[in-house]
Amino acid sequence: MRMYFDVLGRENRRGTVFMSSGLGGSAHYWKPQTGTLLENGFKVIVYDQLGTGRSRPASLPAGYSIGDMATEVIDLLDATGTRDCHFVGHALGGLVGLQLALDAPARLRSLTLVNAWSRISTHTERCFDARLALLDACGPSAYVRAQPIFLYPAAWADAHADAVANEVEHAIEQFPGAQTMRGRIGALRAFDVRAGLERIDKPVFVSASTDDVLVPWTQSRLLAEALPYAETEFVARGGHAHNVTEAEAFNRSLLAFLQKHA
């Protein structure tokens, strides 16, 4: 197994921020955050998740799970000589962070969850059913071209039409294959850590946008209610990828949380 990762900045007293993206799995997803983190003295690690981008094998292992993804993070922490980190995860990446908090709590200083969940909701299941039906009936190009509908508010996507079009074309070129995509979606659908949330004794920043059309913001509220040391921020706009669409506001909140716990 070979995985692509970038180490940005140098180790220092503020610590390392390890960033894990959502279903797309790309290190590039965190570009709106990395500059701010580096400017404020944090070392940053980003990576392409197994089966995506520059970390693409022929196929994922049978029964691939969020637990496997958490083990991959531990391997990357070891490979980079990182004792512990502030873990930041978006959607699927947040699930990886929750699993990591249960499997290897000593590797975490804090955990940030962006539009994540402890068990997938019926609404999100319906969205993935529709996306997989589109993949089966029309192929990868149609699947990817529908993706911005679930990520971004309509007005933002319209105002940034060129950037969204470029992102879609790149995602089509980098599409990991239908089997891999089904395996990754299957992993997040099988995830359920509701029974373990009370054992997570790290500070957790739960961030959600109430206009997210893919993941109900109430999923984040349920997380916050079950986690012993949760701090929350619910914003009115920004969609599923509000750390991208409202990056300046999100960065302020994330930085305040990290500095508090650095």
Q: What is the 3-state secondary structure (H, E, C) of the chain?
A: CCCCEEEECCCCCCCEEEEECCCCCCHHHHHHHHHHHHHCCCEEEEECCCCECCECCCCCCCCCCHHHHHHHHHHHHHHCCCCCEEEEEECHHHHHHHHHHHHCHHHEEEEEEECCCCECCHHHHHHHHHHHHHHHHHCHHHHHHHHHHHHCCHHHHHHCHHHHHHHHHHHHHCCCCHHHHHHHHHHHHHCECHHHHHHCCCCEEEEEECCCCCCCHHHHHHHHHHCCCEEEEEECCCCCCHHHHCHHHHHHHHHHHHHHHC
> What's the structural domain count of the chain?
1
Residues 27/44, Cβ–Cβ less than 8 Å: no
Q: State yes or no: pLDDT of 158 exceeds 90.
A: yes
pLDDT at residue 11, rounded to an integer = 78
Q: Which residues contact 158 (CB under 8 A, 6 or more apart)?
A: none
pLDDT at residue 13, rounded to an integer = 78
Give the domain range for residue 182.
Answer: 5-261
Residues 9/1, Cβ–Cβ less than 8 Å: no
Q: State yes or no: pLDDT of 207 exceeds 70.
A: yes
Task: Identify the band that residue 58 occupies on the pLDDT scale cut at 50, 70 and 90.
Answer: low
pLDDT at residue 38, rounded to an integer = 96
Q: 129: domain CATH number?
A: 3.40.50.1820
Q: pLDDT digit string (tens) for 108-135? A: 999 999 999 999 999 999 999 999 999 9
Q: Which of 25-34, 53-62, 84-93 has the lowest mean pLDDT?
A: 53-62
pLDDT average, residue stretch 34-57? 94
Q: pLDDT digit string (tens) for 34-45? A: 999 999 999 999
Q: Cα(216)–Cα(56) distance, rounded to whole angstroms?
A: 30
Residues 11/80, Cβ–Cβ less than 8 Å: no
Residues 77/7, Cβ–Cβ less than 8 Å: no
